[in-house]
């Protein structure tokens, strides 16, 4: 009986270790999280991912100068960022963080895609891509610690113009810090609490690409529709402050309705260039 008990204990420990290794590798499929009512992430995704595990990364890194060169008028400041989106001021100092968006959870920004066709062609070959855009961080600025949009995606930063390595410029995810490099992709879970900074005298440019994790690939359209629905509900909440006033089941009911509207709209928008 004692031998059996020891064996059972060893077996339990073995499978516990295996499960920990699987979780660390990002294989376990968690319940999707969209941070509508709770901004905290309670899962166990790894802070960073290995680019070598994603074959498309090598192709993007091989052609990173194509993206850089096509953006050169912006990077060299010969012209202002076209169709720029400013990130919420609560996340950084005013005007510190801007981007040129190509795809926002598969919602295609046709004007930018048409203006930068070589970049768009490279992006179109990336499996399960949901988001893409050139991102600027001004000198001596930082982005405050925050969680991203969902735990179903991996955020990828391609270094385009990196003024310095750590400690002057970098990213912190959880308790780990990494530097960017020109022409290299850094992959991380932006569901985890993270922050970035640029304590140099130069602008920092990265190209951001989000991809759906392998285990959620078949749900990509639903995931993107739900994230956009959350964006919509939060934008309305900023004006009328209703989310904290309604019961959670009501908020989720509204979320499902708005998600269904985005689910129908996205394919139409992409097809007809709306």
Looking at residues 79-90, what average pLDDT do you find?
58
Q: Specify the pLDDT at position 80.
A: 67
200-218 pLDDT, tens digit per residue, is 999 999 999 999 999 999 9
Q: Specify the pLDDT at position 18.
A: 34
195-204 residues labelled b (16+ CB within 10 A) or e (exposed): bbbbeeeebb
Q: In angstroms, rounded to a whole number, what is the distance separating the alpha carbons of residues 192 and 173?
A: 7
- Those residues whose C-beta lies under 8 Å from the C-beta of residue 126, and which sit 6 or more positions away, are 56, 60, 209, 211
E strands, the chain, in order? 48-49, 84-86, 97-104, 107-108, 129-137, 141-146, 153-161, 169-173, 176-178, 185-188, 194-198, 204-212
pTM of the predicted protein model:
0.86
Contact 128, 211 (CB under 8 A): yes
16 vs 203 pLDDT, higher one? 203
pLDDT at 49 over 80: yes
> Both ends of the chain: CA-CA distance in Å?
71
148-162 pLDDT, tens digit per residue, is 999 999 999 999 999
Least confident window among 28-32, 50-54, 168-172, 209-213: 28-32
Residue 38 banded pLDDT, cuts 50, 70, 90:
confident
Domains of the chain: 48-215 (2.60.120.330), 217-272 (no CATH)
């Amino acid at each position: 009986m004692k031998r059996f008990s020891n064996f059972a204990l060893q077996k339990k420990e073995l499978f516990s270790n295996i499960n920990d290794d699987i979780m660390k590798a990002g294989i376990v499929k968690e319940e999707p999280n969209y941070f509508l009512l709770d901004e905290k992430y309670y899962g166990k995704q790894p802070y960073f991912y290995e680019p070598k595990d994603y074959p498309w990364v090598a192709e993007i890194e091989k052609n990173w100068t194509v993206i850089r060169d096509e953006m050169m008028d912006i990077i060299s400041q010969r012209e202002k960022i076209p169709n720029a989106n400013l990130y919420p001021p609560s996340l950084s100092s005013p005007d510190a963080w801007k981007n040129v968006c190509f795809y926002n959870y598969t919602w295609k920004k046709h004007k930018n895609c048409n203006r930068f066709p070589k970049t768009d062609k490279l992006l179109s070959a990336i499996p399960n891509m949901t988001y893409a855009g050139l991102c600027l961080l001004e000198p001596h600025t930082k982005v405050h610690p925050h969680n991203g949009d969902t735990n179903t995606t991996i955020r990828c930063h391609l270094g385009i113009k990196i003024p310095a390595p750590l400690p002057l410029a970098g990213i912190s995810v959880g308790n780990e810090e990494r530097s960017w490099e020109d022409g290299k992709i850094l992959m991380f879970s932006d569901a985890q609490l993270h922050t970035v900074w640029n304590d140099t005298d130069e602008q920092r440019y990265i190209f951001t690409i989000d991809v759906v994790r392998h285990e959620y690939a078949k749900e990509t359209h639903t995931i993107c529709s739900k994230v956009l629905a959350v964006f919509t509900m939060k934008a309305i909440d900023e004006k009328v402050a209703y989310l904290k006033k309604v019961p959670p089941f009501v908020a989720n009911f509204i979320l499902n309705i708005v998600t269904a509207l985005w689910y129908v709209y996205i394919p139409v928008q992409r097809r007809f260039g709306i």
